[in-house]
Amino acid sequence: MTSGIEHVAQRVATGLLPDRAEVAEAVAQAYEEARANDDGDVADHIPSLAEVDPDLFGICVTHVDGGCHDAGDAEFEFSIQSISKAFVYALVSEAYGPDVLHEKVGVNNTGLPFNSVMAIELNDGHPLNPMVNAGALATTAQVTGDTPDEQWDRILTGLSAFAGRPLELDEEVHRSEAGANQRNEAIARLLESYGRIEDPVATVDLYTKQCSLRVSAHDLAVMGATLADGGVNPVTGEQVVSEQVCRDTLAVLASTGMYEKSGEWLFRVGLPGKSGVSGGIVTIAPGKGGMGVFSPRLGSAGNSVRGEQATAHLSRALGLNIFASGPYSPQSADGQA
Q: Domain of 229: which CATH number?
A: 3.40.710.10
d(CA 219, CA 163): 5
How do the residues of the chain divide into helix, strand and coil, expressed in percent and rounded to 5?
A: 45, 10, 40
Q: Give Cβ neighbours of residue 192 (< 8 Å, ≥ 6 apart).
A: 198, 200
| Structural domain includes residue 142 | yes
Instruction: Compute CA distances 336 → 84, 325, 327, 332, 333, whole Å.
Output: 44, 19, 17, 11, 7
| Structural domain includes residue 165 | yes
> Does position 291 have pLDDT exceeding 80, yes or no?
yes
d(CA 27, CA 310): 8
Q: Give Cβ neighbours of residue 245 (< 8 Å, ≥ 6 apart).
A: 90, 93, 94, 98, 231
CB 102, CB 5: distance < 8 Å: yes
More confident site: 302 or 57: 57
| Structural domain includes residue 128 | yes
> Does position 140 have pLDDT exceeding 90, yes or no?
yes
d(CA 70, CA 20): 12
Question: What was the pLDDT predicted at 329?
Answer: 76
How many domains would you assign to the chain? 1
| Structural domain includes residue 310 | yes
Question: What was the pLDDT predicted at 128?
Answer: 57
| Structural domain includes residue 12 | no
| Structural domain includes residue 334 | no
Angle at 115 between CA 113 and CA 120, to 5 degrees: 90
Question: What was the pLDDT predicted at 103?
Answer: 64
Q: How many CA atoms lie within 13 A of 230 on its CB side?
A: 9
Helix ranges (DSSP H) in the chain: 20-34, 47-50, 84-96, 98-104, 118-122, 133-140, 148-163, 171-178, 182-193, 200-211, 217-228, 243-256, 262-268, 305-318
| Structural domain includes residue 14 | no
More confident site: 116 or 302: 302
| Structural domain includes residue 255 | yes
Least confident of 163-177, 202-216, 317-331: 317-331
Least confident of 96-110, 133-147, 319-333: 96-110
d(CA 266, CA 101): 24
Q: CB neighbours (10 Å) of residue 104?
A: 20
The pLDDT tens digits of the residues spanning 45-98 come to 888 888 999 999 999 999 999 999 999 999 999 999 999 999 999 999 999 886
Beta bridge partners of 59: 71, 293
- Averaged pLDDT of the chain: 87
> Does position 258 have pLDDT exceeding 70, yes or no?
yes
Its domain, for residue 314, covers 20-318
Angle at 12 between CA 104 and CA 240, to 5 degrees: 55
> Does position 309 have pLDDT exceeding 50, yes or no?
yes
Q: Tell me the whole-structure pTM to 2 decimals.
A: 0.89
Question: What was the pLDDT predicted at 105?
Answer: 61
Phi, psi dihedral angles at 289 (to 5 degrees): 170, -170
